[in-house]
Structure formats: structure tokens, C-alpha cells
Structure 1
Amino acid sequence: MNRRELLKMVAAATGSVMIGGEFLLSGCKGNPDSAPVPFTEESIAYLDEIAETIIPQTTTAGAKAAGVGRFMTVMVNDCYTKEDQEIFHKGLNILDDACDKMHGVGFMKATPKQRKQLLIAVDKETKDYVKKQADAVNVQGQKEKQGQERNTNDFKKQALPNHYFQQLKQLAIFGYFTSEKGRTESLRYTPVPGKFEGVIDYKKGDKAFAGLT
């Protein structure tokens, strides 16, 4: 699985293209001229717990063991626009407030069951939001097909900003499957260089192969 294939997998799992994916593929920073908001060790621990709720430890390592929280901070700082960075940081507070509203405690004090219940609810909300986001883009596309001149300012007003949980879920998935533990434990890992096998038998339930490029 190369990086482009993984981006497609993330898109399929979250219903939208990877936020910041174009900067990731080009190897460039999304906003080199703006100073990113620093992440504290506490916020990194918080991100680890969110990611662990999305990809928990089972017979294989979970997101926390893979160090996904710290990976998220690098992606946000290097591949997100200033607007998306602000959405991400505000979203962490929104999620914590939502947990307190639902369970009477903040996310870090919530039980794994409470965290899962919260994220299931937020994920549903996000899917509805992403659909509205796509509809807004489709409306603009139809106008262009009909020969109407595109007004950039009007389009920006119609376009919905990205959702914070959309960001969190994408980064959790991408971070996990690009980590050493994600590649070697959740995927079938073949070190490079290795022997060439032109045909490999497939058995139902077999893991995909790792090997990001």
C-alpha cells in the first residue's frame, strides 16, 4: 500500500478527501509563513486518547502505542492551512465540552465506553456535515456547467469549512497505518528488499500488505 492508496482509503473511511493531502504528497508545508499554535504534552496525550478510541488496542497495537497523537501535531503544523489549524484546535475544546455535556466529565476522565459512545455520536454528526459540504460544492459545480460565471466570494460563502472530527479521524487512520506498529502489526509486513513472488494465494481475512512509498 503506497501513500496515494492510503489517502484513498482514508477518503473512503471518512467520506471526504484527506485534508492537507495535497501538501503531504508534494512534501511542502501548507502555511510556511504563519506560526503554528504549539501543542503541549497534555494536548498530545489528549490526542493519543482520541486516536486510541478510534483505533483501540486489540490483538494488535492501538493508536496510542503507535504514537499517533504526536504524529497528528506534525501533520496539523506542516500540512494544514491556518484556517484548518484553528478549526482543529477549537475542535479539541468542542469535543471535551461535548463529553462533559453527555457524561458529566471531560474526555480525559471519561471511561473507554463513554468515549466510544461520544465519538459514535460525533461521527454521525460529522457524516451529515460532510454530506452538506459536498452538496454545497455540487451546487457550485452545476452553476458552472450552466454557464454561470463563478464568483469566488460567493463560493467561499457557500462552502462549508472542514469539520474538526473529520480532521481527527483522518489523522488517526493515516497516522496509525504509516507508523511502524500499524505497518508491522495490522498489515502484512514484508521487509525490503525481499524475495519476489509473482503470484500469492489469498485467503479470506488476510491483511493487506504494508510498504508505504
Structure 2
Amino acid sequence: MNRREAIAAVGWVLGGTLVSAELLVSCTSKPARVNDLFDEAQVIFLDEVGETILPATSTPGAKAANVGAFMAVMVQDCYKKEDQQVFLDGLKKLDEASEKKFNKGFLKLDTGQRTTLLRELDEEQKAYMASKQPEEPSHYFRMMKELTMLGFFSSEVGATQALRYIETPGKYDGCMDYKKGDRAWAT
């Protein structure tokens, strides 16, 4: 074996070791954490739930407003521990309901299947909320729906593209004409 062959062999061995180590690390690593409660995979999941609730039409949808990250912050910073747990368990329940109904996870469903599933969950939460006691927590899907709406309509995208927005509207006019089909005011 000459010197060139020896260097090439050592290069292959070292290169293989580096590639194998990189593969091992990438295959065993967990999704990056967004905060103490949520990881990136859960935020992506919430973005898709939000986009199904408020899809893009002639205006951007919930995903454009990054509602998944908004929900993660709100649940961690503003919800009681019990409600946080209901919300986190709800992510699993939503995916389980998808598996039960369509034999695949929520993220693998097409738009029609997602809409069908979320409509059923919306009916379930309405029935639950009508009969729940004041001390009981809200239904997880109600929390997701409320946070989607709040996150979208308080975002720049929602306030400026889905609603009418004037940065400095001037005087207050409580009797402004509203024509059918006009967007609501954000300001």
C-alpha cells in the first residue's frame, strides 16, 4: 500500500465515523423545545389545527399568523396548570380521534377530512360546555378554537388583511354605515 492509498483509507474510516455519528444524533434527537410545555412538532400540529379552523381564502389563514406559536405562549403563560394539562391532553385526543375515524393521524388527513373531524369535535365541545359545571375545565377543542381566533385577529395579518384597519382612525363615529359584505373594523 502506498501513501495515497493509506490516506484515502484513513479518510474513508474517519469520514464514515463522522457520518455515522451525525446520523445517530439526528435520529435520536427529540424535537426542539419552543417553551417548557411545547415542542416544535406540537406547534406545527397547532398551526394545522388553526389553519383548518381559519383557512386561507382571499385573505391569509391562521397559519400565516403563526397561531401555533401564539397558542404555545398563551397556554404556558396564561393558563392554570389544570387547563394546561387539559390542552396538552387535547392534542393527543385530537390525534386519537383522527386515528379512530380515518385510520391516520391528523397531519396526514386531507382538508375535507380535517374539517369533518373538527366539526364533530366542535359539536362535542358545545354539548360539553352546555352541561359542564363552573368549576370544571373547558373542553380542549374550545380552548384551541378560542386561541386560534384570538391569535389570528390580534395579529398583524388578521388585523390588517382580514379586518379593515386604519392606523389612526380619527374621531369616533358610532353610527358609521355598514354595508353587507364589508369587513369588520380592527380599530
Q: Under a length normalisation based on structure 2, what TM-score does the superposition of the two structures give?
A: 0.77
The corresponding residue for 2:183 is 207
- Within 2, Cα distance between the matches of 1:85 and 1:195? 41
Q: Where does residue 114 of structure 2 map in the other structure? A: 115
Q: Distance in 2 between matches of 1:102 and 1:161?
A: 25
The aligned length equals 152
Which residue number corresponds to residue 81 of structure 1? 80
1:170 matched residue in structure 2: 146
Give the whole-Å Cα distance in 2 for the aligned partners of 1:87 and 1:201.
43
1:56 is paired with a residue whose SS is coil
CA distance, structure 2, for counterparts of residue 39 and residue 170 of structure 1: 18
Structure-2 separation of matches of 1:78 and 1:124: 28
Match for residue 187 of structure 1? 163
2:140 partner amino acid: Y
Q: Does 1:98 align with 2:97?
A: yes
Deviation per residue, 1:27-69 (Å, 9 max, x gap): xxxxxxxxx7431111111000000000000000000011111
Q: How does 1:3-152 map to 2 (within 5 A)?
A: 37-133=36-132, 136-137=133-134
State, as a whole percentage, how many aligned pairs show the same letter: 47
Cα deviation, residue 197, structure 1: 6.5
Q: Secondary structure, in 3 states, of the residue corresponding to 2:63?
A: coil
Gap change, CA 1:84 and 1:74, over 3 Å in 2: same
For structure 2, list consecutive stretches of 5 or more residues without a partner in the other structure.
Answer: 1-34
Aligned to 2:65, the other structure's residue is in SS state: coil
Q: Tell me the TM-score normalised to structure 1 length.
A: 0.68
Between the aligned partners of 1:118 and 1:202, the Cα distance in structure 2 is: 35
Give the superposed CA RMSD. 1.5
